[in-house]
Chain A
Amino acid sequence: QKEVEQDPGPLSVPEGAIVSLNCTYSNSAFQYFMWYRQYSRKGPELLMYTYSSGNKEDGRFTAQVDKSSKYISLFIRDSQPSDSATYLCAMSEWNTPLVFGKGTRLSVIA
Chain B
Amino acid sequence: DGGITQSPKYLFRKEGQNVTLSCEQNLNHDAMYWYRQDPGQGLRLIYYSQIVNDFQKGDIAEGYSVSREKKESFPLTVTSAQKNPTAFYLCASSKKGDGYTFGSGTRLTVV
Contact = CB atoms under 8 A, between A and B. Distances in A.
A94 B40 CA distance: 27
A74 to B, nearest CB: 14
B25 to A, nearest CB: 12
A93 to B, nearest CB: 11
B41 to A, nearest CB: 7
Interface residues of B, number: 26
Contact of A98 (B6, B100, B101): B100
Interface residues of A, number: 23
A98 B42 CA distance: 12
A68 to B, nearest CB: 23
A44 B90 contact: yes
Secondary structure call for the B interface: strand
Interface string A3-32: 000101000000000000000000000001
Contact of B100 (A46, A95, A101, A103): A46
B42 A101 contact: yes
A90 B43 CA distance: 10
B48 A88 contact: no
Contacts of B2: none
B42 A103 contact: yes
A102 B99 contact: no
B102 A43 contact: yes
A61 to B, nearest CB: 14
Contact of B41 (A36, A42, A102): A102
A8 B104 contact: no
A97 B42 contact: no
Nearest to A6: B42
Interface of B: 6, 33, 35, 40-45, 48, 50, 58, 88, 90, 92, 96-105, 107
